[in-house]
Amino acid sequence: MLTYALRRILGMIPTLLLISVVCFTVIQLQPGSFIDQYLDDPRVTKETVASITRQLGLDQPLWIQYLTWIKGIVTEGDFGYSFVNGRPVSSLIWERLGWTVFLALLTLVVSWVIAVPLGIYTAINRYGPGATIMNFLGYISLAIPDFLVALLLIALVLNAGGTNVGGLFSPDYIDAPWSWARVRDLLGHLWIPMIAIGLEGVAALMRQMRASMLDVINQDYVRTARSKGVTPQRVLWRHAVRNAVNPLISLAGLSLPSLISGTIIASIVLNLPTIGPFLYDSLLNKDQYVAMTLLLFSALLLLIGNLLADLALAWADPRIRYE
């Protein structure tokens, strides 16, 4: 297994190099550049524009810009310079990465805790009224986009007399040191983004778990276990659920890129300090090094997620072995 993991990690290097070329090309193909805002300003002279272009390195050929960017990443961990913020890209990303990972992992864990039991219940009791209601609510949750759920929750809180519904903290606690009062304030704000971001994921996981369970409970080994007198609970958890959860593990690995781009609109609506809105702003402002770095980071998360999913599958299912 260790050899397999090392081989996969080494294989990521040429893949990331190819992806970096694609990211750089895509960003360069968008019309205009960061300098256009100065060209449209009559107060800025052509000499000033030329000076800014040289200062930012945008006067160099594209291949030199790309090689300079990649060299900085490999040799110094330097992902470039943000034109808009006037700061290194790495420092700007680290400021938002912590909250992004926290919200995404918390939402993922809560989604699994809720969706897996619901998927098992709706599969076992697929003709019951409770399962019918849950399936209907699942369809509704899949149909409603996350930003609309966020707007509905904001309207609900405001109509109930609430005031602070955006962000993760009240204004008094945004820059305050950590304390129990700040933690309570965070918990008071956290439920809105968790519902808005996680509702669709719960519905999708529930549907996937239900489909996997319906496929597994009719397999020969399940019927054989029942015929041998194995208790229903042992058949359910040791045989059916253990095999039905495999597709969900694969989906969990694919969900890592959503740390960046999966909830951009909902994060903007809720004013969350995550990476998604940062990527959106960088694309609007043509802040090329920020946009390229975030796209490359998203691809890296996808590769890491696939590797972790494969390793988790081998751990969960003894039939899966990587030679």
210-225 pLDDT per residue, tens: 988 888 888 888 888 8
Judge whether 202 and 114 are in contact, CB under 8 Å: yes
Angle at alpha carbon of residue 234, lines to 231 and 235, rounded to 5°:
85
| Model pLDDT, residue 322 | 61
Half-sphere exposure for 88 (CA within 13 Å, toward CB) = 11
| Model pLDDT, residue 17 | 92
> What phi and psi values does residue 215 have, to the nearest 5 degrees?
-75, -35
> What phi and psi values does residue 81 have, to the nearest 5 degrees?
-125, 130
Of 150, 87, 93, give the one whose Cα is nearest residue 274: 93
Residues of the chain with pLDDT under 50: none
| Model pLDDT, residue 261 | 67
pTM confidence score: 0.82
What is the DSSP secondary structure assignment for residue 166, as one 8-state letter?
S
**C-alpha to C-alpha distance for 200 and 138, rounded to whole angstroms:** 8
Judge whether 186 and 168 are in contact, CB under 8 Å: yes
- Which tokens hold the place of 200? 């669709």
**C-alpha to C-alpha distance for 141 and 144, rounded to whole angstroms:** 5
